Structure 1
């Protein structure tokens, strides 16, 4: 049976990801733009959790098939961004070729946001290893330790220190969240927490996310704009997963978008944001709210056209048919 509530949660996650990427919301009074971005930082952890949960409820954790699918998605999404790379390099074909075959591209694809797919591959591999070789208790403590270390390094980075270990931990957190989502599914833990409790955690957690970042900025001079993992972003993401799974709602526009287009929106929206910034004039380029609305509508519209009229492209972007 289709979990429409979870699909709606994916829809909200898509919007959360785009809020982080569209800009600084400079059209809003300071510091509300930063507050909006910080309050959306649960979105990326949610998608890691959701991937683990969906693997946990499946009949078989087919690691090979899942990795093959992710590799295919990363490959075709990277091809999509080659024209953007070419333009950013001012038409220098040699530089473009060097960039395509560089270690950065192997690690995270041809666009900044594709690191998520590579991280998810690592999350699948490490979860499979932990399930077969490490006790559940030890695996859980390792997962929590990675989350805390990632949060701490994010705080240190926001204080102006160059701490590159944050990016390694940000990749490794994919294991922590995928694993937590997986064991929550296998242990049927989600249904043991009511939606009222989960909603309280979600709303209060978002408030704490904003307060954490604001007070670190006010009293220690931390950069609010660059904060990526407030400590409560993980509990908030878990709460949204619980609400999504436990909510019995009818199919609607939001659930259909979350079901059919959430991955695609994640993959193509930076392409549209780039065009919005460079090619459509300052009215939209300098207004994050307008970019958010227009790029979201365009992303869904493009994916709808691909799904219904050019399905081969839609399938490639979503890894459909990969074995």
Structure 2
């Protein structure tokens, strides 16, 4: 794995930890201003993941050829994660949880709140594959703009407590499309050669304007800044973090590597820890630290089990191939 890709994996790890911190809670032991700042600071993470997926979907070959395989992997992961959280839904909500699992909604929202990311990614890759297959590439830009406007508008209405027929909880499932498209566009250029100070400038501008946008809405529309899910300048913030990761600077400084799958495993598994820990740990900061300490050994065990199963499946497939080749011709 190249240093640039490894550096990007480290930023993905940072993004996954940012999601954990966002889901921990409102950090009630901190001053309210700190809680707002922390949660706003971590909103770049999910759009960043979409950009990374779009970048490698386009860069490693034809999107039409790669998208079906990528789609199948994410779909399998979505089904497995939904099955993993299904008992927890029944445990937590009783008959209501069981009715949710048996409803049609589970097909696109999953069994736990954070799985919207995977279902959005499935929708996004499916749409991009279809558009590419039909040769309608000119549709990407206007479609992305419409989705981004819809997401920003519905987020604004949500934090201002304005009732609308279309909510952010609906539009967010389309959020992957514009960011996958951004990643695909970036893959066409040598963005990894961009100077470090330009990438840092991107990030700082994104952070600064994101705070400014949130507090402007707070002052003029009495919005609840801590409830923001997506802001206009989350876009340059996420792009800046992607460019910063692709620059390779982090790998040069830290001198260590991680598995490419760690960030995704953290994203999928962390609500399990948070659910049970929240019953006994009442400090958000301590809860965050304990969850992190438990996550990494669990991921190591999980990875060992998946590698073991992978080898078993390969061995079985090899034996079946050998057995069939030993049969006499008909």
TM class by shorter chain equals 0.7 to 0.9
Deviates more, 1:163-172 or 1:238-247: 163-172
- Structure 1: which 4+ aligned runs deviate by more than 6 Å? none
Tell me the number of residue pairs that the alignment of Structure 1 and Structure 2 aligns: 306
What is the DSSP-based 3-state SS (H/G/I as helix, E as strand, rest coil) of the residue aligned with 1:161? coil
Computing the radius of gyration from Cα coordinates, the structure with the larger value is 2
1:308–1:29 distance in 2 versus 1, CA, 3 Å: same
1:31 aligned to 2:27? no
Q: Deviations over 1:125-147 (max 9, x none)?
A: 11122334355444223212311
What value does the CA root-mean-square deviation take over the aligned residues? Answer: 2.3
TM-score, normalization by structure 2: 0.85
Alignment partner, residue 300 of structure 2? 304
Maintained 8 Å contact 1:52/1:177: yes
| Residue aligning to 1:99 | 100
Deviation at residue 296 of structure 1 after TM alignment: 2.0
1:193 CA displacement: 3.6
Match of residue 88 from structure 1:
92
1:77 aligns with 2:91: no
How many Å separate the matches in 1 of 2:90 and 2:154?
A: 33
Higher RCO (CA < 8 A, seq sep 6+): 1
Deviation of residue 314 (structure 1)?
A: 9.2
Deviation track 1:73-129 (CA, whole Å, cap 9, x = no partner) reads: 011111111221121124x4xx44422121221111100010111110111011122
**How far off is 1:261 after superposition?**
0.9
Per the TM alignment, residue 252 of structure 1 is displaced from its structure 2 partner at its CA by 5.8
Q: Following the alignment from structure 1 to structure 2, what is the Cα–Cα distance between the partners of residues 175 and 144? A: 10
Partner of 1:235: 236
The corresponding residue for 1:47 is 49
Unaligned runs of 5+ in 2: 312-316, 318-330
Give the alignment of 1:238-253 within 5 angstroms: 238-247=239-248, 249-250=251-252
Q: 2:40·2:211 contact (CA, 8 Å) conserved in 1?
A: yes
Instruction: Give the whole-Å Cα distance in 2 for the aligned partners of 1:192 and 1:251.
Output: 17
Pick closer, same or farther for the CA change 1:149–1:99 going to 2, 3 Å: closer
Are the counterparts in 1 of residues 54 and 183 from structure 2 also a CA contact under 8 Å?
A: yes
* Residues 160 and 35 (structure 1), Cα distance of their counterparts in 2 relative to 1, 3 Å cut: same
TM-superposed deviation, 1:251: 9.5
Three-state SS of the structure 2 residue aligned to 1:188 is coil
Q: Tell me by how many angstroms 1:277 deviates.
A: 0.9
Structure 1: 5+ residue stretches without partners: 316-320
